[in-house]
Every structure is written in C-alpha cells, then in structure tokens.
Structure 1
Amino acid sequence: MRLFFFSCFVILAVISAPARAIIVTKAAPAKQAIVDPKMFAEVVPLLEGRAVGTLVAPQWIVTAAHVAEHAKIGDNILIGHEERSVEQLVFHPSWDAERVGSEGVTDLALIKLEKPVTSVAPARLYREQDETGKRISILGWGRTGDGIDPALVKDGRFRQGFNIIEEADKRLRFRFDAPDSGKAVEFEAVSGPGDSGGPAFITKGQHRFLAGVSSFQQDETYPGIYGVTENYERISNHIEWLLGTINRASPAGN
C-alpha cells in the first residue's frame, strides 16, 4: 500500500441526478466546483499556494505537520486582505516525520502568527465524536482531475467538493467513489497535490465546523483515482491539545 502526501486539489465526480452521472473531465475542468475564496476566508493558502491551512483563532492556523515541516519563521501568509508573518511552529507531540501514516503519529501542527487577524472570523472546531456518516465539504487550490486519468490539471482555482465520512477513529476516512457505484454524492471529491493541511467542514445549522485536516491518501497505484481512501486528522480527538496550545501561548483576548 502506498501513502500519498499532498502539498492541494480536488478531484470531482459531479452527479446531476441519481440515474445519470456526469464526470468532470480534463477537457472540461470542474468549473461547477469553483467557489469564491471570500466565502471561506478562514481557509488560507500556505507555502506559496502549495498547501492549505485554516484559521482557528485570531493568531493561529492549523495545518498538517508534514506541511509545517516546510514552513519557516518569518514566512508571510495572506489571510483575507491581511498579511501576517509566522512567529512560531508548534507540532503535535506525537508527530514523527519518519513514521507518517502510522497509527501512533498525528499529522497536525499549529502556526502562530506574529499578530492577530482582525477581519476574518476563525473556524469553529467540531467537538462531537459522531462524524461517521456525516457529509463533509473539502476545499483547496490544488490540482484537479477526473478520477480516471492520473494526469492532473493545475489551474490555481479554489474548489469545493463533498464526501461522506465512512470511519471516524484515529482519523477520519472516506473513499472516492465512482459515479456508477451508487455511493457517490453530488460533487464527490477527494483532496490531492496541493491540498495537504486543508479542511474538512461539517455544517450544522447555519454554521460550519472544522472536523478534519487533510493528511494522506492510501492507494495501490496513483492518487486521486476512484477507489482511493482519504485520511484526515480528526479534530475532535485533539481539542485538548489545540485549545491548550492556543490558550497557553496567546495573550488574553487572542
């Protein structure tokens, strides 16, 4: 089994009706999935657009640890219209770059900004442990494709796709189901090259909550092909570490 670690993209299968599926092909990229980044201002590009993070407090961004390994103190990050530099990188205590994907390793990191962001509301954290069967939205600027051809298109557009969480234990897991499988949802998606560290949101009522962080994909051949299994770090398992780190390091009010 191969583990693929992505630095953001969304591969989509678009379902127009239960009896008839339309797959967005390379010849006609997933235009229907393109959304305005301003609608998700808490989702931010990292590493010059090669990865993704989510603002979870005015001065903090959560992302994958394997993404933060490539960040540097002083790097500039644009959140909305505000530019902030990186002040500190905090890795989950169980992170081990040599054992990525192992059960005992958590692929999470927090990026502390040099001063708080004032114009963007941070994402709410999903704290319930009932994610199995929930519909999630995943987002990113990375490469897109059609689920069949492993050749991926990079156009820098911000896309949203959806899936259903099938397993929620150490991580959140879901498969990329083909349109004719009878299991695919509308705008079925997985993340890919350029989406590492990006969010999986669960919507409850009028609010969306950060439930997962893109970590890796399991596959025997190529990433982004129908049948691959996606692995997102499970936020509800790490609330204590996330809030403890933020509250210990942030001045009152941040």
Structure 2
Amino acid sequence: MKYLFLLTLAFFCFGNNASIKRHDIPSENYIVKNVPGYLVDMPHEGHGVLINSRWVLTVAHTIFYDYVGEELSINSKNYQIESVHIHPGYREPDKGLLQGDLKPLMSFFKSRHDIALIKLKTHVINAEPIEIYTGHSEQKKTITVFGRGATGDGIKGEDLSTKPLRVLNKFQNIVDSAEGNWITYTFDEPKNALPLEGMHASGDSGGPSVILDGKNSYLVGLSSWQLAFGDISNFKGGLYGTTAYQVRISSYQNWIFSVVGS
C-alpha cells in the first residue's frame, strides 16, 4: 500500500471539507453548492477528473492498490473500473525519505511523474467530461481548485481532524510558474491575496485546477504536494507563504493521448 504521506498532500492537495482558506474570510464562502460533473471521488481519498466518457485522470499516489473492479461514483452514479494505467515514471518514496531533513523528499517529489489514468468498463452517461488544457501559457492565469480534504487557515495551517468531513470546497489562486511537469502557486497573506485565495490540503490529491476561457472550462492541473523545508517532524501544511505543486496537464498530453487515444 502506498504511503499516505501528508506532504503529498496528496492529500494535500490536499481535498475534502477541503482546502486551506484565508483566516479573514467566512469558511462557508468556499463551499461548493453545485458539484462539477467531471469531479470524481477516489475509493478512499483524493480525486480524479473525467476527461472523456470512459477515462478518469488522477495523480498516481491516490492509487493505493489494484483498483480493477472497484467502483467510482460519478455524479451520483457508480461506474466499475476496467483498468489502471500509472505513468512509468512514477515511484514511491523509500522509508528513509520519510524522516529527517525534507530536502531529499522534496527533490524526490519533483523528479517523479505523479499521474495515472483509469479506464471505466462503461461510458459515463450522466456527466460531461472536462477538456484538458493543451497550451503552454498557464503562468499568471487564475485557477479554481476543488477538493474534499482537510481544512484550516493560513495562520494555523491544516487541521487533519477535519479530513473525514469531506465537504467539497473550492478556492482560487494564481499560477506562479509553469515549468516542466509542474505548475506552482503560493498561498499569499490577505493583503496580497485573491478574495477566495487558498491552498490544497491533505485529502485533496488529484483535485482539479481549472481555468475559464469564455464559457469553456479547461483542466490545467491536479493537486499533488506542498513544498516544505526543515525537519519532517516539524512540518505544518497550509501556512501562508507555502508553495503548492500541481501536476501540469499540458506536459503530459502526449502520454495521455497515447493511452486514451486521440
């Protein structure tokens, strides 16, 4: 079974009552009233995204074991998993990386390919997929991020005891960088923040980052991990100033199309 390591926020991404919020904004402002049909909850925690009628895209670290035969709930209807395709460049961390100085673990996260595809046995008929973003101009774009993970605020950080609540939240941020396989954003303090600024948290892994272009929505990222420093025993996720890393969908479009088809 994969390490349910909270840095990957994978959980991070953290998602469920989810997301880390501004301390000066009512938490109810972040709650999602109309759940996007393309948002998929994984069997245990984290999320996936419906990208066509038979394929769900997620981060690889949400695949804890062989999910073939398991069911995914999509827009309140269950669909059985036919196959799982994990990127060949995905690896799990050695136990030695999960203790002491965080720098080697951060380098490890940055070097791996945290992405997977799930094929369903039947076509989804009750939800519309989201298109993936195939451009390369993510930087400085405003993204909306969804998740059901732990919640908290930028002063106190994430509260892991809230993780089981699984209330869907969304927040916004601005892409700082889009390089290689990752896009990043920073959780700014209120004076420099968006009205619904936020950060992914434990349980949000695989939650989608979406941009709007006119009336169309595009998937640009999947919540994956938070950048951290110092000793792992002192780690506190979701504080102001933290940088989040998300899988950059545009850099994986060739791999996605090679598995799914054109």
* One-letter identity of the residue aligned with 1:222: K
- Shift in Å at residue 71 of structure 1? 5.4
Once residues 151 and 133 of structure 1 are traced to their aligned partners in structure 2, the CA distance between those partners, rounded to angstroms, is 26
Unaligned runs of 5+ in 1: 15-21, 25-29, 249-254
Distance change in 2, residues 1:209/1:151 (3 Å): closer
Task: Choose which of 84, 87, 100 in structure 1 pairs with 2:82.
Answer: 87
Once residues 164 and 71 of structure 1 are traced to their aligned partners in structure 2, the CA distance between those partners, rounded to angstroms, is 35
- Shift in Å at residue 3 of structure 1? 4.2
Task: Choose which of 191, 197, 203 in structure 2 pairs with 1:194.
Answer: 203
1:157-198 C-alpha deviation (Å, 9 max, x unpaired): 111100000010020001111113x2x111001111110011
- Shift in Å at residue 126 of structure 1? 0.4
Task: Choose which of 221, 245, 256 in structure 2 pairs with 1:231.
Answer: 245
What's the TM-score, normalizing by structure 2? 0.82
> Are residue 136 (structure 1) and residue 170 (structure 2) matched?
no
Indicate the residue corresponding to 2:183 in structure 1. 172
The answer to whether the Cα contact below 8 Å between 1:4 and 1:223 also exists between their aligned partners in 2 is no
Task: Choose which of 8, 27, 33 in structure 2 pairs with 1:36.
Answer: 33
* One-letter identity of the residue aligned with 1:226: Y
* Equivalence map 1:34-73=2 (5 Å): 34-38=31-35, 40-48=36-44, 50-70=45-65, 72-73=67-68
The answer to whether the Cα contact below 8 Å between 2:9 and 2:203 also exists between their aligned partners in 1 is no
Once residues 210 and 222 of structure 1 are traced to their aligned partners in structure 2, the CA distance between those partners, rounded to angstroms, is 28
Percent identical across equivalent pairs?
Answer: 29
- Shift in Å at residue 146 of structure 1? 1.2
Once residues 23 and 136 of structure 1 are traced to their aligned partners in structure 2, the CA distance between those partners, rounded to angstroms, is 19
> Are residue 6 (structure 1) and residue 1 (structure 2) matched?
no
* One-letter identity of the residue aligned with 1:43: L
Structure number with higher strand proportion: 1
Once residues 45 and 71 of structure 1 are traced to their aligned partners in structure 2, the CA distance between those partners, rounded to angstroms, is 16
Unaligned runs of 5+ in 2: 1-5, 95-104, 230-234
Structure number with higher helix proportion: 2
- Shift in Å at residue 204 of structure 1? 0.5
Once residues 37 and 70 of structure 1 are traced to their aligned partners in structure 2, the CA distance between those partners, rounded to angstroms, is 31
